């Protein structure tokens, strides 16, 4: 009996030792873990470029075929029209078919708004009026009626994408046409293929293919510019009855849309 | 005293010392084990709850994750971009990971870092940034042409991630962020801020934003009770109209080279729940290095006790055989 009791006691103690030993060994183990996450982003591409080339008017014009073009386009050619004070000028028979060009290029990764604004818009004109002095005859009593507002400088605006936007129109027509270009374009739009290259040219017809349809108006405007005394005496108000200046400032802005 | 009596006396003496040695070993190891386990508190259900050490830790229960407002929303025209809102609310949202690491004894420690329902491992790609962004009218206003993540003036995002103790023992955790711009020399005017679920700001504040590289100094640590989790909200934005000229410069430079921001979030968790002990181990190191002498002594005593028992049994058996032989000899004579 003693033997069995002793054996049982020893066995029980052995089990107890094994249990506590395993518990101790459990405290030796230590849980460790780590996790990592990240992200990278690059600055979205913009790269929109607006370029403008050329000039509209000049101080001299030289002969080309039956017209006269800016002297800067044909250096050395015979001058047919020349400013007396260095101001840019226009005259019957002058034109500029190379004009100025505007181009918008780039494929931005953001939505953009293309805005074309026109400032300082002026146009040469002779207002509709009756009894205007006819300065072509040299007679003091001759007059003529201008049946409609007369804009001698004809502007043409074209786009390589949109085609002819203005064909022989006024500066106001050009302003209206340019406003139609204003638009918002989605990200990743190739602006060169959406807007294209714009080109603005002008011409002042010399004599309507020999008919001289507007000779009286052209001559009156020329005499007004020279300060010649009008005969018969007539009071014409600059800005209302006539304008002797043409001018335009075109701004193209491409702005990211918020 | 006869030989037999002497032998019996020796046997009893031997037996006494072995039993004594074993008893001391068992008592000593039991006491030390209880001292270790006493670090852990038990709640009413009997589960380990270390809330006494971290009263602000939220109870983790299986349900939906904290929601992220990822509209990347831009502000109104001309305004600064919105941060897209803070992520998540409420406690204990989300389905717990089934990943459980079982160690020798000591409960089932398990840690999980996740975002958008995806569990992190190593170098996990997450959506701190996006490849396209929409405005309040849900119109895309910025979009990568090749799927890359991008940033642009007016873009923003709010990124929520969660650290969860999905095991049944407390864990110490550490959070560390790396943030940098490449190539060097560029400054990208993106601002950031970061907040913990309990409204503690790790970077910035309600109306305070910092340059993204300052995220590089952001860190957090603490103890997380079993079944509890923390979540963090990382907001960033590129203000729309602060410096148009510089923004345009960056956008144009980006045509020919990638100018990037990188943010990396590193998390560590260890099973050592002593809140006063510095956690954060980057090299796996199993084994508690403290009190090695004590533990070694106890292990040695336990081993001696085991060996002693085996020897005792062998001697006892031999002794019994000798007694039997003696008894047989006496009977024969």
Kindly report, residue by residue over A26-61, the tens digit of the pLDDT. 544 456 788 999 999 999 999 999 999 999 998 888
On the question of pLDDT at A245 being above 80, the answer is yes
Give the Cα-Cα-Cα angle A133, A138, A139 (nearest 5 degrees). 70
A88 part of contact set with chain B, CB < 8 Å: no
Q: Which of A22, A43, A50 to mutate to test the interface with B (most CBs of B within 10 A)?
A: A43
Whether residue A192 has pLDDT greater than 90: yes
**Do the beta carbons of residue A197 and residue A49 sit within 8 Å?**
no
- How far away is chain A from the Cα of B328, in angstroms, using its nearest Cα? 19
Q: How far is A8 from chain B (nearest CA, A)?
A: 11
What is the nearest CA distance from B331 to chain A, expressed in angstroms?
Answer: 22
The tens digit of pLDDT for each residue in B5-47 reads 787 788 778 777 877 777 777 777 777 666 655 544 433 333 3
> Which residue in chain A has the smallest CA separation from B319?
A3
Q: How far is B235 from chain A (nearest CA, A)?
A: 14
> Torsion angle, CA of A53/A57/A63/A68, rounded to 10 degrees?
110
For residue B68, what pLDDT band results from cuts at 50, 70 and 90? very low
Q: How confident is the model at residue A101 (pLDDT cuts 50, 70, 90)?
A: very high
The minimal CB distance from A38 to the residues B25, B265, B284 is found for B265
Mean pLDDT of chain B: 74
Question: Distances in Å between the alpha carbon of B98 and those of B101, B124, B270, B294?
Answer: 10, 19, 18, 36
How far apart CA B196 and CA B165 sit, in angstroms, is: 16
Chain A residues near residue B106 by CB distance under 8 angstroms: 26-27, 29
pTM of the model: 0.66
Q: Hey, where are the domains in chain B?
A: 3-39+290-332, 58-270
- Pairwise CB contact (< 8 Å): B309 & A13: yes
Place of tokens 């852990």: B40
Q: Using CA atoms, how far apart are residues B327 and B164, in angstroms rounded to an integer?
A: 72
Residue B52 pLDDT more than 50?
Answer: no
- Across the interface, of A25, A39, A44, the residue whose CB is closest to B127 is A39
Judging by DSSP bridges, how do beta strands A79-82 and A32-43 pair with one another? Answer: unpaired
pLDDT tens, residue by residue, A124-143: 999 999 999 999 987 888 99
pLDDT score of B181: 97
The pLDDT of residue A145:
94
pLDDT score at B168 = 86
Lowest mean pLDDT of B53-62, B225-234, B240-249, B309-318, name the range. B53-62
Minimal C-alpha gap between B77 and chain A (Å): 6
Nearest to B82 by CA among B92, B91, B72, B93: B72
A13/B23 CB distance under 8 A: yes
Rounded to the nearest 10 degrees, what angle do helices B3-37 and B292-332 cross at?
Answer: 160
Q: What are phi and psi of B163, to 5 degrees?
A: -115, 125
Check if B192 contacts A (Cβ < 8 Å).
no
Give me the residue label for tokens 């990208």.
Answer: B188
SS3 of B75-142: the string is CCCCCCCCCCCCCCCCCCCCCCCCCCCCCCCCCCCCEEEEECCEECCCCEECCCCECEEECCCCCEEE
Select from B171, B251, B284 the Cβ nearest to the Cβ of A44: B251
Question: pLDDT exceeding 90 applies to what percent of chain B?
Answer: 43
* Chain-chain contact of A28 with B120 (C-beta, under 8 angstroms): no
pLDDT of the residue at B284:
31
pLDDT at B33: 65
**Mean pLDDT, rounded, for B79-97:** 30
Residue of A21, A40, A109 with shortest CB distance to B145? A109
Handedness of CA B289, B293, B297, B298 (dihedral sign): negative
**Contact partners, residue B104, CB within 8 Å, separation at least 6:** A22, A25, A26, A28, A29
Q: Which of B74, B103, B299 sits opposite A258 (nearest CB)?
A: B74
Q: Give per-residue pLDDT as tens, B290-309.
A: 556 666 777 777 777 777 77
What is the reported pLDDT for A84?
A: 85
Mean pLDDT, residues B173-187: 95
Rounded distance between C-alpha atoms, residue B297 and residue B139, angstroms: 71
pLDDT at B22: 74
Q: Which has the higher per-residue pLDDT, B282 or A163?
A: A163
* CB pair distance less than 8 Å for A27 and B288: yes
Q: What SS3 state is found at B49?
A: coil
**pLDDT confidence bin for B311, thresholds 50/70/90:** confident
Taking an 8 Å cut-off on Cβ atoms, the answer to whether B262 and A40 are in contact is yes
Interface test with B, best of A6, A39, A189 (most B CBs within 10 A): A39
Strand-pair category, B124-125 with B191-196: unpaired
Give the rounded percent of residues in chain A with a pLDDT score beyond 70.
89
Alpha-carbon distance of B167 to B48, in angstroms, equals 10
Q: Is B31 on the interface with A (CB under 8 A)?
A: no
> What average pLDDT does range B122-133 have in this prediction?
96
Give CA–CA dist A102/A117, Å, rounded: 13
For residue A87, give the nearest of A244, A215, A228 by alpha carbon.
Answer: A244
Q: Where are the beta strands (DSSP E) in chain B?
A: 58-59, 111-115, 118-119, 124-125, 132-134, 140-143, 150-151, 156-165, 171-182, 191-196, 201-203, 210-211, 219-224, 228-237, 260-270
Q: Which helix (H) or strand (E) holds B312?
A: helix B292-332
pLDDT tens, residue by residue, B137-155: 999 999 999 999 999 999 9
A38 neighbors B123 (Cβ within 8 angstroms): yes
């Amino acid at each position: 009996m003693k033997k069995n009791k002793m054996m049982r006691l020893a066995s029980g103690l052995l089990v107890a030792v094994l249990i506590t030993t395993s518990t101790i060994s459990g405290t030796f183990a230590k849980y460790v873990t780590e996790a990592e996450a990240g992200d990278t982003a690059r600055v979205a591409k913009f790269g929109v470029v607006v370029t403008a080339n050329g000039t509209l008017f000049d101080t001299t014009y030289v002969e080309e075929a039956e017209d006269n073009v800016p002297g800067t386009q044909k250096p050395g050619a015979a001058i047919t029209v020349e400013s007396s004070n260095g101001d840019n000028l226009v005259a019957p028979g002058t034109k500029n078919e190379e004009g100025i060009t505007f181009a918008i290029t780039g494929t931005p990764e953001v939505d953009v708004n293309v805005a074309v604004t026109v400032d300082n818009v002026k146009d040469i004109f002779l207002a509709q009026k009756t009894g205007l002095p006819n300065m072509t005859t040299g007679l003091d009593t001759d007059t003529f009626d201008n049946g409609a507002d007369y804009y001698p400088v004809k502007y043409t605006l074209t786009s390589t994408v949109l085609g002819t936007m203005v064909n022989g129109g006024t500066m106001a027509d050009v302003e209206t046409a340019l406003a139609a270009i204003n638009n918002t374009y989605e990200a990743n739009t190739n602006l060169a293929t959406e807007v294209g290259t714009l080109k603005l040219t002008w011409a002042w017809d010399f004599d309507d293919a020999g008919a001289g349809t507007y000779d009286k108006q052209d001559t009156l405007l020329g005499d007004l510019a020279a300060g010649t005394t009008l005969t018969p005496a007539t009071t014409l108000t600059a800005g209302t009855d006539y304008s002797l200046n043409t001018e335009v400032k075109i701004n193209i802005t491409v702005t990211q849309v918020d | 005293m006869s030989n037999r009596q002497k032998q019996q006396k020796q046997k009893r003496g031997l037996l006494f010392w072995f039993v004594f040695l074993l008893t001391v070993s068992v008592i000593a190891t039991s006491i030390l084990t209880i001292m270790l386990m006493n670090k852990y508190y038990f709640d009413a259900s009997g589960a380990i709850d270390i809330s006494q050490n971290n009263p602000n830790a939220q109870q983790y229960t299986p349900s939906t994750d904290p929601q992220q407002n990822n509209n990347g929303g831009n502000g109104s025209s001309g305004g600064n971009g919105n941060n897209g809102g803070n992520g998540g609310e409420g406690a204990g949202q989300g389905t717990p990971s089934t990943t459980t690491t079982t160690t020798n004894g000591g409960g089932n420690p398990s840690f999980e870092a996740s975002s958008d329902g995806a569990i992190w491992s190593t170098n996990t790609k997450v959506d701190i940034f996006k490849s396209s962004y929409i405005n309040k009218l849900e119109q895309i206003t910025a979009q990568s042409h090749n799927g890359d993540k991008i940033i642009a003036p007016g873009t923003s995002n709010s990124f929520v991630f969660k650290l969860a103790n999905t095991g049944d023992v407390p864990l110490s955790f550490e959070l560390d962020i790396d943030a940098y711009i490449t190539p060097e020399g560029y400054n990208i005017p993106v601002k950031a801020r970061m907040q913990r679920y309990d409204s503690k700001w790790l970077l910035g504040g309600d109306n305070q934003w910092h340059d993204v590289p300052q995220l590089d100094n952001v860190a957090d640590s603490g103890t997380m009770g079993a079944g509890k989790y923390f979540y963090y909200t990382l907001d960033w934005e590129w203000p729309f109209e602060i410096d148009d000229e510089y923004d345009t410069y960056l956008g144009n430079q980006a045509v020919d080279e990638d100018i990037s921001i990188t943010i990396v979030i590193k998390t560590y968790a260890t099973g050592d729940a002593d809140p006063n002990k510095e956690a954060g181990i980057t090299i796996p190191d199993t084994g508690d290095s403290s009190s090695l002498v004590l533990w070694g002594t106890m292990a040695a005593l336990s081993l001696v006790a085991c060996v002693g028992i085996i020897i005792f049994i062998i001697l006892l058996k031999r002794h019994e055989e000798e007694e039997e032989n003696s008894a047989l000899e006496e009977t024969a004579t």
